[in-house]
Structure 1
């Protein structure tokens, strides 16, 4: 006689139920489940609920959503409140398509079935449990009435159920009420009321509440701005698995906002968020790998994350991917593919992408017809008052792309666009300095160039720096200021600026010589393919300048520079070969 048969003969159904529960709780889940399933089959609602939960959790039995839902439905129909709440939750999340009709059949090779929410059934079971006084069910009912299909929505009822749930101390009820207040808030008082409910919700460690409090603290909405508190809330939300919190916490670690800067941890959290579908996190990951710095640059990885974000409509990421194709970093160099991503960036509303597309047209990408079409498009946008369109049309006129070359008109459109477009400030500044389409005016040109440089445009920073090095700038030579500009551009990834910063630090300029820094900047530029930097870094390694000597690695960099046609690299390698012969002869 089996254990179940012996117990059935000697004990009541209630006693067998309690014994089964004790077995489950003491660790003998398999035996406990067998006993509970026997009691459940006899029609006991509590046993049916526990068997359903065991199937859902995979406790004492292989997990089965279908079996779990079946037993929960039996318990719910018998009036079990917790079964009704759990069943409502399953319907809200969605049961596998076909399960309700008993048509669900999977083989090992089949893909997981699509989960289909059924808010009408969820509402039915949630209301029954809520009416019976379940705070969790009351919060769930409020949620269904808030976000369900239009025919079910009722904000007044939803708020009432949230209030009942919150009054009973349910964290989910506080969260629902906090979201309601947040949506209704029109001033700081409304935001403060929302924040109070969200704080109550964090007692249950609810990730969404933690994330929202992070946002309010970071933005200073309804409370003084507190970046340290924001970072802490984001961290706690991230640890609870909220992708948006993971993305924001990764960003704060990346920038050192409210928390110590930690690129490695930032990359970890951003990766988690991106893999959960957070587009902004994927774009930031692309930036991390493209910029290098604390982590070595990895342009292939950068291109993958930029593509991930761009495919989901992120305009700046599409532009960044276009720039990689334009330079051949991490991907094969393909100006046509770069133009395609610039167009996608433009369509997503990224003005910088539109400016880059206009610049790329100058290189001859596309057919004559495509260039004429693009020029006409820019002209229409310019005449409609679009400043980016004015800039791009100015570029077309300046270079005769898709239209007749007319530098005078180009300068007029550039001047108009310069009030709001950084690229136009740079172009108009150069036109004034060079006297293209306007009377030469170095002072005014430098002023426009300065505006573009202050806005972070690296090309403008580099041009200004070059003018200050040669003394052609209005104020004459200013090597210290030039170095500041080169460093600013270099930190933003301008490879030529990296080389120039190394050259200034290397000596011969009106700033203190620092060969350690020179070597570091030459290295960064060399790693990004700058031939002159490869020459200089090779020399520094061979001669032990600014750090330990390493003739083997130095030769490798000189060979790379030679491969790019740098003549001095050829002479340097010949000199080293001659020295080797002398040493062997001696």
Structure 2
């Protein structure tokens, strides 16, 4: 699955330090370990240099880590195009990686990241918004790898009717798969659908349970909307529904222990 058509030399573009002398590493693994040590020690420049050495040999985790660093501006200038091209290298080289391997989570994460870039495009670059390709990326991560972020992203598209027919039932199916894996945003949206009966049979007690799990496990600063959704639904719930939610929650916790 090719993802980076349009770049004159996508590998060169994705490796801005490749013109610098590389060396001092006994192996790809040694370069990766050195990069992670430097990163953890706060030496992001040293980390990038070592990780790029490993990435140029096709080391999956190094490619992924560099993609995340450029996507977040973590120790490097924020550059979505460079991030896109690192993730593209993973998708192009390792799309057939079997689920369950040590590399698989990084491959599936790369597909999810690419889906996000295709959804919105990257301003001033050859990466244009292409919702159908975004759907393909999320679908692959969600179905082949069972990636909860991919499942959540795909569910959001079905909820909004973006690139796919609007289908709350399909959205609920993908949300449940992600929610069962502990994905807090998916738990919150699934809970809200169950309380309202949108796309699924109305089950307010079960919906309140998912909303409680989402709220308790979420980052209050990053996901304030989850707490707001929880509080709104609980305020409107009957006492019987609240008691049922507590019973479901106790059963869920026992099952997970």
Q: What is the TM-score of this pair, normalised by structure 2?
A: 0.70
Do 2:208 and 2:242's aligned partners in 1 also have CA atoms closer than 8 Å?
no
Partner of 2:139: 271
Of residues 164, 174, 178, the one that matches 1:309 is 178
Kindly indicate whether the alpha-carbon contact (under 8 Å) linking 1:336 and 1:365 is maintained by their aligned counterparts in 2.
Answer: no
The unaligned stretches of length 5 or more in structure 2 are: 1-22, 96-106, 247-257
Q: For 1:357, which of 208, 219, 230 is the aligned residue? A: 230
Q: Write out aligned runs for 1:93-132 (5 A).
A: none
Give the SS at the match of 1:167: coil
Query: CA 1:310 to 1:226, structure 2 compared with 1: closer, same or farther past 3 Å?
Result: same
Corresponding residue of 1:167: 25
Are 1:178 and 2:11 matched, yes or no? Answer: no
Residue equivalent to 1:252: 117
Q: In the TM superposition, what is the alpha-carbon distance from 1:181 to its structure 2 partner?
A: 1.5
Evaluate the alpha carbon distance shift between residue 305 and residue 343 of structure 1 in structure 2; reply closer, same or farther with a 3 A threshold. same
Specify which of 136, 150, 160 is matched with residue 281 of structure 1: 150
Match of 2:206 among 314, 325, 337: 337
Query: Relative contact order (C-alpha < 8 Å, sep 6+): which is higher?
Result: 2
1:216 corresponds to 2:69: yes
Question: What is the CA distance between 1:248 and its match in structure 2?
Answer: 1.4
Distance 1:285 1:368 in 2: 29
Q: Aligned in 2, Cα 1:326/1:171: closer, same or farther, shift over 3 Å?
A: same
Larger radius of gyration: 1
Q: Is the 8 A contact 2:138 2:154 kept in 1?
A: yes
- Paired with 1:171 and 1:272, the residues of 2 have a C-alpha distance of 29
Per-residue Cα deviation, 1:85-114 (whole angstroms, up to 9, x for no partner): xxxxxxxxxxxxxxxxxxxxxxxxxxxxxx
CA RMSD of aligned residues (A): 2.6
Q: Equivalent of 2:54, from 201, 209, 212?
A: 201
Unpaired stretches in structure 1, ≥5 consecutive residues: 1-164, 374-586
Deviations along 1:405-429, one digit per CA (max 9) or x if unpaired, are xxxxxxxxxxxxxxxxxxxxxxxxx
CA distance in 2 between counterparts of 1:369 and 1:250 reads 38
- Per the alignment, do residues 202 and 306 of structure 1 end up closer, same or farther by CA in structure 2, a change over 3 Å counting? same
Give the Cα–Cα distance (whole angstroms) in 1 for the partners of residues 224 and 110 of structure 2.
Answer: 28
1:413-492 correspondence runs (5 A): none
Q: Quick check: which one's helix share is greater? A: 1
- What aligned pairs does 1:44-55 form with structure 2 within 5 A after superposition? none
Equivalent in the alignment of 2:249: none
Partner of 1:9: none
Q: Deviations over 1:337-388 (max 9, x none)?
A: 32222122122235433333332234443329849x9xxxxxxxxxxxxxxx
- Does the 8 Å contact 2:192/2:233 carry over to 1? no
Distance 1:198 1:330, change over 3 A: same
CA spacing shift, 1:365–1:193, aligned 2, 3 Å: same
Matches within 5 A, 1:18-33: none
Return closer, same or farther for 1:307/1:262 CA change in 2, 3 Å cut-off.
same
1:234 is aligned to 87
Cα deviation, residue 232, structure 1: 1.0
Aligned length: 203
TM-score by length of 1: 0.32
Partners of 1:261 and 1:291 in 2: CA distance: 17
Q: Secondary structure at the match of 1:358?
A: helix
Q: Aligned equivalents of 1:210 and 1:273: distance in 2?
A: 17
Measured at CA, do residues 225 and 337 of structure 1 come closer, stay the same or move farther in structure 2, by a change above 3 Å?
Answer: same
Q: Does the Cα contact within 8 Å between 1:343 and 1:353 map onto a contact in 2?
A: no
Contact 2:70 2:79 in 1 (8 A): yes
Find the residue that maps to 1:294 and give its secondary structure: coil
Provide the rounded CA distance (Å) in 2 between the counterparts of 1:343 and 1:246.
30
1:230: how far off?
0.9
Instruction: Check 1:254–1:166 CA distance in 2 against 1; reply closer, same or farther (3 A cut).
Output: farther
Of 125, 129, 150 in structure 2, the residue corresponding to residue 261 of structure 1 is: 129
Equivalent in the alignment of 1:113: none
**Aligned partners of 2:32 and 2:50 also within 8 Å:** yes
Query: How many Å separate the matches in 1 of 2:154 and 2:192?
Result: 16
Distance in structure 1 (CA, Å) of the matches to 2:69 and 2:91? 16
